[in-house]
Amino acid sequence: MPQPLDFATLQPVIVLSVWTCVLLLLDVFLIKRKSITAVLTAFGLALTLGLTFMQVGASNDGFSGMVVQDGFSTFINALQLVGGLLGVAVAHAYIKRTGSERGEYYTLLLFSVIGMMLMAQSNDLIMVFIALELLSIPLYVLAAFTRNTESEEAGIKYFLLGAFSTGFVVYGIALVYGATASTNLHEIVAFASSSSPSLLLTIGAALILVGFAFKVAVVPFHMWTPDVYQGAPTAVTAFMSSGAKVAGFAALLRVFSVAFPNISMDMAPVLAAISALTMIVGNIVAVSQTNIKRMLAYSSIAHAGYILMAFVPYGDAQVSADAIASGLFYLVAYMLTNFGAWAVVIALETKSGSGLELSDYSGLAKKYPAIAAAMTIFMLSLIGFPPTLGMVGKFYLFRAALQGGYTTLALIGVITSLVSAFYYLRVIVNMYMREGDPTPARDLWLDLTWSITAIATVVVSLAPQFLFVLASTAVMLK
Amino acid sequence: MEFLLQPLTLMTFFPLVGVLVILFMNPEQKSAIRWTALVTSLITFVISLWVFSKFESSNPDLQLDAKYAWIQVAGWNIYYYLAVDGLSILLVLLTTFLTPISILSTWTAVEDRVKDFMIFFLLLEVGMSGVFLAQDLFLFYIFWEFTLVPMYFLIGIWGGPRRLYAAVKFFLYTMAGSILMLLAILWLGIKTASFNMPEMLARLPDLYASGAIDPRTQMLLFIAFAAAFAIKVPMWPLHSWLPDAHVEAPTAGSIILAGVLLKMGTYGFLRFNLSLFPQAAVDAAPTIALLATIGIIYGAAVSYAQTDVKKLVAYSSVSHLGFVMLGLFALNPEGIAGALLQMINHGISTGALFLLVGMIYEQTHTREIKVYGGLWKITPLYGIIMLIVALSSMGLPGLNGFVGEFTILLGAFGSKAIGSPWYAGISALGVIMAAVYILYMFQKMFLGPQGEIIEDAKKHGHPIRDLNWREIITVLPLLIFIFWIGLYPAPFFNIMAPAIDKIIALLPL
Amino acid sequence: MLEYVAIALMIVVSTFVALSAIGMGELLGPKKKSKAKDVPYESGMLPYGEGTRRIPVRFYLIAVLFILFDIEVIFFLPWAVVFRQLRIFGLIEMAVFIGILLVGYAYAWKKGALEWE
């Protein structure tokens, strides 16, 4: 019999779910102008964000240990809700422009956000699985939302690969259950610590890792990413390249740090290798891209590698807290910067879907200095250049890697950053140093998105203290 | 308010006021924008003089501290920490001094996107001052990397025909060095649990003594820092970005690049490599002296072969900065003092050379030496000033270059760290070679029969004219210093001496 | 471990039997090909058109709706079995469950998914 406390742990998720169901019906029965749906979606997200902030400091588990609410989940949930708000803001003008304005966009987005939040709160592998499905299925639909060939191809590809990766997760969960007779994270670790090392457990954990590796798109499980990111409506790409990645990492962090610290000796080299490979492949392949969506897709792969770096020393009790905090910090930096960059891409995309080549950015700075300056900030942040959040984030990440003794990994990280500078600079070169005549679409929501994220990217990097505090208190996994 | 009124903070960030004002100006009001930028940089210069008046030259320690806790969580121990001492005060003054001169030099040269140009230029000034003042490695790294961004735009937007290539090369080259330094900074930060220089300097000796950081690691850290600085200097064989950047950069960019940005590299060696890794510095001294010597001879030889006058000056920088490096790693008071003075000298002389080359380029739009000739008759004033600057650059006694190079060679001859007088002996050849290429350039351009460009210019209705008042005002302050340092360098040496002695005391010689 | 052997044996034997039944027919049976024998229907009807026919997309929609609503109802069965233990909580939970289903149902209805034309 659940107690009121159980509901308290999930309060924001429950409120948002109810709101989403109501909105779904309101949208089909009452609302004619879809802008109203957008506003109501944003309102629901903001309300939930407020409720999430009220949870700060609390720490409970609920529903017989199926879910947990702690600093970590609150941090991730707040981040996901901000991502949801940004996702609504960039979508509003975009789906109107591309003639695919339907209210379902917003409800699907909300369902996905609910899945992402649950993901961070799951304390049981079964919950992880349900949350994973809840966040993924709306994204499959969203990827195919504009219903042109590319978009549908992206949707199908994402769906097939998504289903495939979910299979890995489920199989991994089954093996872990076979090895430990439980799906609860705490019971798994309790069992694993009291018994002899089990190969079955390691294989199960590895399969779960593979499943999530697909979700967060790290090499060699990244092949779907460029096609899906390129084909999906740009607003959806912006949302899923941030939200799904954050959710995937959140689940990985929780599952591995709570349930699998015993097998960290086996896992750390694998994680280190994947991280290094991802940074190298993502950045090097991005160099040869001429389409901005594809380039940013590879860039997001590369960034998954950086974030994964924070995660490598997860079993080392001395540095794991710091490392995870650095990962969280970087997720925030990545989320803000990435959304900003995609907002600019959306502004430049034309109605017919052109305006996505790098050469289409030529001459932007002359006519629209503000957008160009914002894009410059995002590119510098993605390189990891001061004065941006990306630089502080990388500083933190590399320190964590060095503390964990992974000097080579940190070295690969900085060298691939250098490679990445090459292709990010190309955007800046086009905007400032070549002639051209682009006409970005102006929309209040979109303008606000890129201007606020740009300002935040710079200002937070100069006063990052509060974010450091948040990130380092958020790692107290219950 | 108290934070902003700290003299160093105020000086560093004052150009931002100008940036803000310009940001809200109409891009068409070019002359108003120019005046705003100039006035801002002049006020910054005045503030730097105020800083200088507060500076006690007898005090070897860091002064005028502006220190505030910045990031103090999660094991980070980062301060916002600006301070100045005898090693940096002159370089700071050089920065604030050269900036208005550079802005004046663009008065008619830059007509396109003046607003953006001035914004980037003032941002660059913030970055440069910050580099020389930051005493916290995190802050230092931010300023260090930040200077790249505006310079990249200056080259890439207002540069010559191959500007895109030059800009990207400049950016990637410099970044390649600094990322290694980033790792070393982080590593030091972890080991010493601090990022600010005084704390690090207090803790490092124990770590070295106890073997917590073994000599090999110390050498690796030294190399990581040196990678960033050596590329910036640039030391042979890492110099290949410099000619491209210089040739393509607009005049003002070249002045600042040669005058200040390169000094950031040598300053970095002096401030960080020598004091943080004293043992490694002593061990590396012969190698660096060798590279410096090669750089001196190589730079001078290649200069002679140039047909493009800007490239000639660019390669001469490689040679001159070789002297600076040689002096620094002589690791004795004469060598370092000479090197520090030579940094200032090079900033003034080479800055002036680029300025003068820019003035003629603005009229003729060519830098080919062979099309000039006989300019002396048409533009006598320009010729005289060019001669003075050229002589200063090649180290004629009585002018500033001589004092610096002579002191450096004096230091290098007697250096225990380098261990052999041969480096100094061979380097002295560089002085002679400098005379050859500089005089060759002067002769080809100013003497002899009239070059074709003079006729061409007449034909097109723009005969080559002598310097106008603005140009004279621009170059005059530099001439004053050329003579001042050349004739009476003692005040300059006095300012730096205590701080240099303090650095020397750290070295295990 | 031993108790699993029986299962393994079972799998092996059943696979063998199934395969051999198909295989033996293929191997031992007489094969005489003729034109009349190769047609899909040996009744004398001549087939025309494509072998595969397109099915209207509506059927898929119905199939999906069937899965959604009909299969969900299967959850009522285990719920009914333990209803007495769950008491009032079970009732509320089922109300929530049905509520969510109803939201979907109302949505599908309004969207016209239930209409044939």
Q: How far is B315 from chain A (nearest CA, A)?
A: 26
More confidently predicted of A16 and B7: A16
Closest CA to A410 of A418, A422, A420, A402: A402
Average pLDDT over residues B303-319: 87
Which of C89, C99, C110 is opposite residue A29, by nearest beta carbon?
A: C110
Q: Which residues pair with B67 in a beta bridge?
A: B81
Whole-number average pLDDT of chain A: 89
C-alpha closest to that of B203 among B191, B216, B215: B191
Contacts of C71 (CB under 8 A, 6+ apart): none
A418: number of CA atoms within 13 Å, CB side?
A: 18
CA distances A61 to A73, A120, A471, B503, Å, are: 11, 13, 21, 58
Closest CA to B156 of A98, A430, A76, A150: A430
Contact between chains at A422 and B156 (C-beta distance less than 8 A): no
Is B71 touching A (CB cutoff 8 A)? yes
pLDDT at B25: 86
Question: Are A395 and B186 an interchain contact pair (Cβ–Cβ within 8 Å)?
Answer: yes
The predicted pLDDT at position C12 comes to 95
A226 has a pLDDT exceeding 80: yes
Q: How distant is the alpha carbon of residue A27 from its chain centre? A: 28
| Local confidence band at A208 (pLDDT 50, 70, 90 cut-offs) | very high
Burial of B382: CB neighbours in 10 Å, binned 0-12, 13-18, 19+: buried
Provide the pLDDT for residue A107. Answer: 93
**In this structure, is residue A244 part of a structural domain?**
yes
Q: What is the pLDDT of residues B110-160, one digit of tens each?
A: 788 888 889 998 999 999 999 999 999 999 999 999 998 899 888 888 887
The answer to whether residues B465 and B335 touch, using CB atoms and an 8 Å cutoff, is: no
Where residue C48 falls among pLDDT bands split at 50, 70, 90? confident
Side-chain-side CA neighbours of residue B186 (13 Å): 25
Give the model confidence (pLDDT) of B390-400 as tens digits. Answer: 888 888 888 88
**pLDDT at A478 > cutoff 60:** no
Asked whether B292 and B322 are in contact (CB, 8 A), the reply is yes
The pLDDT of residue A79: 93
CA distance to partner chain A, nearest, from residue C6 (Å): 20
Query: Which DSSP string do the residues of A283-341 spell out, in sequence order?
Result: HHHHHT--BHHHHHHHHHHHHHHHHHHTTGGGG-HHHHHHHHHHHHHHHHHHHHHHHHH
Asked if A24 and C110 come within 8 Å (Cβ–Cβ), the reply is: no
List pLDDT tens digits, range B34-47.
899 999 999 999 99
Three-class SS state of B81: strand
Whether B168 and chain A come into contact, CB under 8 Å, resolves to: yes
Supply the pLDDT for residue A110.
94
Q: Given C89, C100, C111, which is nearest A21 (Cβ)?
A: C100
Tokens of B371: 């099309």
Residue from B157, B175, B191 whose CB has the most chain A CBs within 10 Å, to mutate: B175
Structural domain harbouring A309: 10-473
| pLDDT of amino acid A160 | 92
pLDDT digits (tens, 9 = 90+) for B48-78: 998 888 888 888 888 888 888 888 876 788 8
Point out which residues pair with B80 in neighbouring strands. B68
A478 part of a folded domain = no
Query: What's the pLDDT at B1?
Result: 61
CA distance B412 to B418: 7
Cross-chain Cβ contact A468/B172 below 8 Å: no
Q: What local confidence, expressed as pLDDT, does residue A139 receive?
A: 93
SS3 A478: coil
For residue B6, the tally of other CB atoms under 10 A from its CB is 18
Task: Please state the φ and ψ torsions of residue B439, each to the nearest 5 degrees.
Answer: -70, -35
Four-CA torsion A351, A355, A361, A364, nearest 10 degrees: -20
- The one-letter amino acid code at B481 reads F
The pLDDT-based confidence of A477 (bands split at 50, 70, 90) is low
What residue of A is the nearest CA neighbor of C96? A18
| CB contact set of B141 (below 8 Å; sequence gap of 6+) | A386, B178, B181, B182, B185
Task: Measure in Å the smallest separation between the Cα of A308 and chain B Cα atoms.
Answer: 18
% pLDDT > 70, chain B: 100
**Chain C CB contacts of A24 below 8 Å:** 103, 107
In a domain, A399, yes or no: yes
| Beta-ladder partners of B136 | B196
- Give the number of other Cβ atoms within 10 Å of residue A458's Cβ: 16
Does a structural domain hold residue A276? yes
Q: What is the pLDDT of residue A342?
A: 93
Look at chain C and count its residues.
117
Given B70, B71, B190, which is nearest A402 (Cβ)?
B190
Q: Can the peptide bond before residue B234 be classed as cis, meaning omega within 30 degrees of 0?
A: yes
pLDDT at B106 over 70: yes
Interface contact A25-C89, CB threshold 8 A: no
Note the pLDDT tens digit of each residue in A23-82.
Answer: 999 998 888 888 899 999 999 999 999 999 988 877 888 888 889 888 888 999 999 999
Rounded Cα distance between B433 and B208, Å, is 43
Q: Considering the domain boundaries, does residue A401 fall inside one?
A: yes
Interacting residues of B86 by C-beta distance below 8 A, sequence separation 6+: B57, B60, B495, B496, B497, B498, B499, B500
What's the pTM? 0.89
Q: Which amino acid is at B326?
A: L
Q: What is the DSSP letter of C45?
A: P
**Helices A199-216, A292-309: crossing angle, 10 deg rounding:** 150
Say if B150 is an interface residue toward chain A (CB within 8 Å).
Answer: no
Q: List subunits contacting chain C, requiring 3 or more Cβ pairs under 8 Å.
A: A
Judged against a pLDDT cut of 70, whether residue A464 lies above it is answered with yes
Q: Is the ipTM of this complex over 0.90?
A: no
**pLDDT given for residue A1 in this prediction:** 64
B503 CB-side CA count, 13 A: 34
Q: What pLDDT, on the 0 to 100 scale, is given for residue C75?
A: 83
Interface contact C89-A28, CB threshold 8 A: no
How far apart are alpha carbons A281 and A190 in whole angstroms? 38
B175 CB neighbours in chain A (<8 A) are 418, 421
Q: pLDDT grade, residue C33 (50/70/90)?
A: confident
Among A17, A23, A24, A108, pick the best mutation site for testing chain C contact (most C Cβ within 10 A): A24
The pLDDT of residue A405: 86
Q: Is residue A1 part of a domain?
A: no
Q: Is B183 close to A410, i.e. CB distance below 8 A?
A: yes
* Sequence-ordered alpha helix ranges (H) in B365-468: 375-378, 380-394, 400-413, 422-446, 452-459
DSSP string for residues in B212-280? SS-HHHHHHHHHHHHHHHHHHTTPTTS-THHHHHHHHS-HHHHHHIIIIIHHHHHHHIIIIIHHHSHHH
Instruction: Classify A166 as helix, strand or coil.
Output: helix
Nearest residue in chain C measured CA to CA from A14: C96
Question: What is the count of structural domains for chain A?
Answer: 1
Q: Check C89 against A29: CB less than 8 A apart.
A: no
Nearest to A24 among C89, C99, C107 (CB): C107
Lowest mean pLDDT among B96-100, B367-371, B433-437: B367-371
Tell me what the mean pLDDT of segment C72-91 comes to: 85
Percent of chain B scored above 90 by pLDDT?
A: 13
For B29, other C-beta atoms within 10 Å of its C-beta total 14
Element at A75 (helix H, strand E) = helix A71-97
Question: Taking 80 as the threshold, does the pLDDT of residue C44 lie above it?
Answer: no
- Evaluate whether residue A5 is within a structural domain: no
A263-303 pLDDT, tens digit each: 888 888 889 999 999 999 999 999 988 899 999 999 999 99
Please provide the average confidence, as pLDDT, over all residues in chain B: 87
Q: Which among A411, A419, A425 is the top mutation candidate for probing chain B, defined by the most B β-carbons within 10 Å of its own β-carbon?
A: A425
Contact B435, B394 (CB under 8 A): yes
For A80-86, what is the mean pLDDT? 94
HSE (CB half, 13 Å, CA atoms) of B126?
23
Distances (CA, A) of A235 to A153, A303, A447, A450: 16, 19, 14, 13
Helix (H) or strand (E) holding B79: strand B78-84
Contact of A301 with A222, CB cutoff 8 Å = yes
pLDDT band at A476 (very low <50, low <70, confident <90, very high): low
What is residue B405's three-state secondary structure? helix
pLDDT tens track for A337-384: 999 999 999 998 888 778 888 888 888 888 888 899 999 999 999 998
- Look at residue A426 and tell me if it is in a domain: yes
B193 touches chain A (CB under 8 A): no
B149 Cβ under 8 Å from any chain A Cβ: yes
Residue A429 is nearest to which of B73, B76, B156, comparing CB atoms? B156
Alpha carbon distance, N-terminus to C-terminus of chain C: 59
| Residues contacting residue C100 through CB under 8 Å, at least 6 positions apart | A21
Q: What is the pLDDT of residue A294?
A: 92
A60-62/A67-69 β-pairing: antiparallel
- State yes or no: pLDDT of C2 exceeds 80: no
Among the partner-chain residues A380, A402, A414, the one whose CB lies closest to the CB of B149 is A380
Cβ-contact A253, A329 below 8 angstroms: no
**Contact indicator for B473, B383 with CB cutoff of 8 Å:** no
A429 and B167: CB-CB below 8 Å? yes
* Range of lowest pLDDT (A104-118, B371-385, B423-437, C3-17): B371-385
> What b/e readout covers A335-344, taking b as 16+ CB neighbours within 10 angstroms?
bbbbbbbbbb
Cα distances (angstroms) measured from residue A107 to each of A32, A112, A117, A319: 15, 9, 15, 40
* A68 beta partners: A61
What's the gap between Cα A97 and its chain centre? Answer: 25
Q: What is the pLDDT of residues B10-25, one digit of tens each?
A: 888 999 999 999 888 8
Give the distance from CA A226 to its chain's centroid.
16
Interface partners of chain B (CB pairs < 8 Å, 3 or more) are: A
What residue has token string 């003579």? B483
